[in-house]
Structure 1
Amino acid sequence: MFESLSTKLTSAMRTLKGKGSITDVNVASTIKEIRRALMDADVNYKVAKEITDNIKDQALGQKILIAVEPGQLLVKIVHEELTKLMGGEKQEINLKGDPAIVLIAGLQGSGKTTFSGKLAQHIKKSGRQVLLVACDIYRPAAIDQLKVLGEQVGVEVYAEPENKNAVSIASNALEYAKKMGKKVVIVDTAGRLAVDEAMMAEIEEVKKAIRPTETLFVVDSMTGQDAVNTAKTFNDRLNFDGVVLTKLDGDSRGGAALSIRQVVEKPIKFISTGEKMEALDQFYPDRMANRILGMGDVLSLVERAQQAFDEEEAARLNKKIRQNNFTFEDFYTQLQQIKKMGNIKDLMGMVPGMGQAVKDVDISNDSFKPIEAIIQSMTKKEKENPDILNSSRKNRIATGSGTSIQQVNNLLKQFEDMRKMMRMMNKVQDGKMKMPNLGNMFKR
């Protein structure tokens, strides 16, 4: 999402010249470029001006330490100001109460229902019993969509398809939750294509009836400043507790993420980066600042991996790798777990230095489909012993997978290279050989 902003900010800070200190003379043009970059990213004008004024005040007159360039110091200052702008620290969702009640609000198409399913799964992982409630009485497919999502994440959905009173449905669901011992109730409400009085009045009544412990406003980050304006309107009526930014994997410029906290004065609590139920992260302002400045977000990447990978399965695979017995079946399993982590391009953007490298590259999870098709076209024996794949077997696999012989051969070569690397790493770990001096590989 922040590729363009990241590129422009990095470019602006590289131009900072001067030795010993940052002065009015050498910082003026840089600050101007930073402000322009923020404005181009659809950041609210007042917010852009405030943050650049703060950056300038922080930077002027600071002494440059030995071996630290002015541009490096400015990166640190910009990082601190971006972090402060987006809230400073992570804000937890309030799940106190028996049951805790989470009310979901937002415009139609913002991703409320999908987020409700993701949140249900997120909370369920902590061991709490969750109930999803379908209170969108206007959109015909809303109840069915929530039921599908509930089935995916293993959470019960309460619905009254014939009841057209959202307040009644929410109240009845709360009584049902208490009776069934549910610890968290997530209420998905109706959205509209635009803010209107009937919509606001209805959700106000729902909130008054069930008295939620947490009210979250879900906003499509791709709508830019419109998202900020809508959030302000909702907050004036609902006084919500936090914001959820969806579709951060889309082609938005990032202005909503940078402006909404400052304008609405409510924290961003979650960010969503795709349709998969696992593609939900708690919002850390410092980590988002890292990503904006092209520093990656390794901590979020590790957390995604921990959620996606089964510990027992990981131990089993590690044992097979140690025994040089890694097969195509194991490789296929690994692919499925990687896909659970979310959008591949978004994941690569979390690796320091990779954001800029992949910003113009079209990468999607569909890239795995030819590989999966080739593996699925192999027999069990072939998956376990790829060395037996002769020309006739490769032809059969290519035909069965809808790929070419060249694609099959490429996969076999990549797989064998990977296994060679695993064998080398095993020898290194066993102390049977020393790692090569990689520095020599780059000497001319």
Structure 2
Amino acid sequence: MPEMNFSSFLPEFEGGYNSSETEKVWRAQSAEFREFWITRVMGTDSDLISDEDCDKVIKILDSNGKGNNKHTEAIARAMVSQGAWRRLFNELHKNRKLGSAVNKILTEQDLKLKAQYIDDLYGMEEAQKIYLTGKSGNTISAFIAAFDPFVDLSIISLKDKKLLLDYLKSPYIKEIDKETIGSKIVNSNIEVFKAIKESGVTGDARKLSQYCYFAPVRELWRGEFTSPHEPSASDEAKEFVVTVASDEVDDQLDEIEVRESIKIQGLLAKIGELMGFDIWLPNPDRARVAKVWQPKDPRTLLTTLPLSYDKATQSTIGLIDVIWIKNKRSIARAFEVEHTTSIYSGILRMADLVALQPDIKIKMHIVAPSDRQEKFSTEIRRPVFSYMTNGRLSDMCTFISYDDVRHIAELEHLSYTKDGILENFEVSAERSDD
């Protein structure tokens, strides 16, 4: 069998790629994004941008956006929750300085100036609080690609661009880490585009991006492999994608951050209590959490788990950081707060629970600072968690950031709010053809 190179799958890809239809879709979607940006985000009114208006554009930016499915087209999988997108747009609308900084990036044609404006944005403290300035550049790159999807690649992650540059043997791979974040984002778009074309694949930025994430091509450069996965009624022939993670060890964090994780535990307990759930906390954590949260009704904090599981399962459940229990007899949601410990340990505890009780139906969440989201995505997609008897753990367990927990805790009328609202803030690690 001949060795496969980057362009080997082009005939197969083009057989299912409708260039004219794709161009039509993206001209319309880019125009919709630009109109939203000009009239709503940059508008001079002081009104909040509605969730409905935000969601129409989030659907364009993020393949995980509300309403998207395998048949819709979005820029990429941006690793930003629905709720965080909504807050981001409203903050850009409210904060004129911040909105103008992003607007300069989107409208600037001089690439050196565009890179400088991105650097300026990354230097703004308020930008760091709303997912605008992550180290992979996902959010700002998604904006740039939506503004002109035929010129700017929909490959929004710097990590993926570096993998592509390395696979395609671009000389720029030796220079990228010497550059500022702005130069990396701008120049990597140019150099990846160039390297792809030199490999024999031609077309506009949208086509090239789609080709890179075409399943057999993606395997070549991203170090992933696929395996058959038994489809369910709601999981029609979904591709089973696994990443082999490195043995990278999480950095240990200081005592201030230890206290921060306890605050988040307390907030999760408070949110659950307001939504009408009973709360379980591990015995070793109770005294520390009590300094930041006290239940209004002492009976809300359970002293024993009212669950009919075997001893091994009870022991595993008892160590989970926060559990919301419905009607004193069933688990509604389970949360592992990961700050000073390895992300892997929290995921492993969830996997242990699923392995002990394969039929258990619990919504599980890893809660951590937003800069650990990529680590979560990598770890939960390890082979050990992807070949589980009852499916992939990444289909059962999602990520929620500290910032989103704080935001949820500040929402009005939580006592009248159902726990389904968390779905606006969770992010799945499952890969799509971004």
Q: Same fold (TM over 0.5)?
A: no
More helix by share: 1
Structure with the larger RCO, 1 or 2 (CA within 8 Å, 6+ apart):
1
TM-score (norm 2): 0.32
